Chain A
Amino acid sequence: MDKKIKKVVKQTEFYILCIIIVFAVIIQIRSGQFFTSNNLMDLVRSMIVPGIYALCALLSFVSTGADVSFPLIAALSAYIAVLAGNTWSLGVVPVFLIAVITGCLIGCINGFFIVRYRFNSLIVTLGTSSICSGILFGAFEAGRTELPEKLYALSKVNIATVKNESSGLGSALPGTFIIMIVLYAAAYFILNYTMVGRSVYALGGDEISAERAGINVKKVRFGVYVVNGGIAAIAGLCYAMMSYFYMPNEYAGAEMLVIAAVILGGTRMSGGIGTLKGCLLGTFLLTMVSNSLILFGISVYWEKVVVGAIIIIGTAISAMQAQRASNPFAVRRKKEA
């Protein structure tokens, strides 16, 4: 039992949880508004899209390296799906399918260059990001677009609504929350209980060992980027559903906060290490900070300073832990002394 507690305390996730609690208490004391039903629900609501993005960031970091293309893959594939849905007045399922397929195809381009030519993933995904943005605004001249009828109807459906008695403010939990839960559940199962999932981790740990063990390294790595494209596309549609309109300008720039959240949650940039729990906690922390500083009456500009500081401090903690963990010399010395 003692050993178990010790192990939990050593994890990055534990620190993030502590920081979350501390922040929550401070915000509660200052504003009295944190632990209200509508605030909490708002928080959950605003972490849905970053939360789904976080899956992309996690998968890419664990297996190979940075992927920064997911917001624009999301934007482009969501746009194509919405466009197709409007033209042929499609139902919800076909719209999602079109989005996912488009996302996967763009993911294939990422995967092809990263796997075939062993290019740096950051450079390749920056490139596809830029191409997607060019196609979106140049070729399609995308602008604010209404959603296909059936998708719009679905986006109005909430799974829960609450009302804060004292302030009279209400908040609703949209159906997209279920999509996030399903994606996380699937990811949890695949990453922890299938050999494919474990191969993703193995590959990130040591590529040569993975190859010798008989993992098809190229296939796994390619697959990660294809899946990433698909997940990003789903996030893109979720985002459109939650704002009831497709708005192309709102997508770009989400990657930094998401990557920061994932790293904060203990994912190691050099690969092989990262958990879904960490993803969720990191995303929750950053969402909470950017949402709740308004409750303090702190201006939006200072909010960015606070978020930046949290990223640096948080990642420093996980980086230091990683260094300590991967320094066998220190362990050995302790043993021999």
Chain B
Amino acid sequence: MKENVLCVKGIKKSFGGVHALKGVDLTIKKGEIHCLAGENGCGKSTIIKVISGFYKPDGGTIEIDGKEYANLNTAEAISAGIQVIYQDFSIFPNLTVMENLAFNQVLAEKKKFVNKKEYRKIAEEAVRKINFNVDLDARVESLSVADKQLIAISRALLHNAKLIIMDEPTTALTSKEVKRLFAIINELKKEGITILFVSHKLDEVFEISDSITILRSGENVHSCPIQEMNEEKFTYYMTGRNFDAVPEKEKISFEERKSMLKTENLSAPGFENISFDLHEGEVLGIVGQLGSGRTELSLALSGMLKPFAGSIFLEGKEVRLNSVSEAQKCGIALVPEDRLTEGLFLPQPIYKNISVTCLDALAKMAGVLKEDDEKTLSQSWVDDIGVATKDHTLPVSTLSGGNQQKVVLARCLATKPKVLILNGPTVGVDIGAKYDIHKLLRGLAKNGMAVLVVSDDVAEVSALCDRAIIMKAGKFAGELKGEELNNENLYKVTA
């Protein structure tokens, strides 16, 4: 019988009348990889903060390694061997790798002075633990996201960690980097370190974890070894609703249909010689890793990046897209990669975010806008797409990731595009909203819209698209359609 490294029971926590946790139990056995799953806002981050001593719970008990803690604070949690790797990694971008690794430990030892030699020793020890090859004198801001994460992991290991909590560690990683991370996690497991892996990505959860706990709106819904879990149960427990499968793809050939968007040997900085033909009612996937040129391609097709060779045809006619507004006029709409920085006006109300693309159409004489018109337009889209909000005059920043993405979609659709380009349509979106968005996209395609999905999420493309083009290092690397289009084949070609 393995003992438990962590056992919390009946944890309650509320913030000003809002019950974030309503009695959560979590038991983690020593040496296992335990997954904590749940949709956004289910209380995952709150329970992590309780375990790490950041929040004091209103009720319940915390037992670490068999010892009960009545008033757990952060210092106690750390000395008990609990380490949290936050999504932002808690690093100092302006300092060197060496200092980042050593700083927290030296600070925790309450030392007053800096000893560079000691720093280097600590740092070297830290990176050796996971065989991480990095220039210790480099500034952390110049490193990739994956390397920053490895710094956070190796730093966590310094503190004789028994339980490492990783808060959605794979969000910003490419699939190659995720593989490397998983290898390291398994390595840690062999050394007897327990991992609490927080995620809502289905395939990752099944790949890495030994057992799983699912939370929903502040309550435990289910805990079991991973073998007893399957995809259907997982989505059911996560969302509390049963999904009918995403509408079946049309099993027809699109080649006969009218060509909506066609490129011939299109080349721009980042990719070259890309040719494809997107037909009416078709959902075409462009799959590739970060740096494969997929993002650049989507930018070129929406007028944000100037191609230096090749041509773009829209409904058979050659077009030159010099700006976003020209692309919009041609009927091309883009859902950008990062909705927070490229898509939304976060502090602005939802309805303004939706109406912004149609201001010209809404404007009356002499360009005067009536707010009521904007609101009517927005309300109809909010209802149509199902943005979960009480009031569309609230700022967009109050919405969850999935609903924010729906707002971006609504705004694009409000321009009545003929071709819809989506770059990473469900990045940072929970399962429920992901399902809604997929369903919506299939519906749009059925009504004749041509949809181009640019993504590195292989599972998404194979579930959603009729056909997929694979890009690698800026070049065309293959095409899959019909029965061939499945996860295994896609993995094979993209990796």
Q: Report A's interface with B, CB cutoff 8 A.
A: 7, 192-199, 201-202, 204-206, 208-210, 212-215, 268, 271-273, 325-326, 328, 331-333, 335-337
Contact = CB atoms under 8 A, between A and B. Distances in A.
Given A195-B113, A332-B144, A337-B291, A272 B107 contact: no
A194 B112 CA distance: 6
Contacts of A335: 144
Contacts of B93: 205-206, 272, 326
16 contacts: A193-B114, A195-B112, A195-B114, A198-B95, A198-B99, A212-B86, A213-B107, A214-B74, A214-B75, A325-B142, A328-B142, A328-B144, A328-B148, A332-B290, A333-B291, A337-B291
A234 to B, nearest CB: 24
A199 B113 CA distance: 11
A110 B267 CA distance: 55
Contacts of B95: 198, 201-202, 205, 272
B289 interface: yes
Q: Give the one of B90, B106, B137 with max A CB within 10 A.
A: B90
B345 interface: no
Contact of A328 (B88, B106, B112, B145): B145
A87 B53 CA distance: 57
B103 interface: yes
B291 A332 contact: yes
B151 to A, nearest CB: 12
B92 A272 contact: yes
B361 interface: no
A215 B112 CA distance: 12
A330 to B, nearest CB: 9
Interface of B: 74-75, 86, 88-95, 99, 103-104, 106-108, 111-114, 137, 139, 141-145, 148, 289-291, 473
A7 B142 CA distance: 13
B114 A198 contact: yes
Main secondary structure of the interface of A (DSSP, over half): helix
A326 B140 CA distance: 9
A328 B141 contact: yes
Contacts of A205: 92-95
A336 B137 CA distance: 22
Contact of B473 (A273, A331, A332, A337): A337
Residue from B94, B148, B290, B473 with most neighbouring chain A CB atoms (10 Å): B94
Contacts of A213: 90, 103-104, 107
A99 B290 CA distance: 58
Contacts of B141: 325-326, 328
B437 to A, nearest CB: 25
Contacts of B86: 212
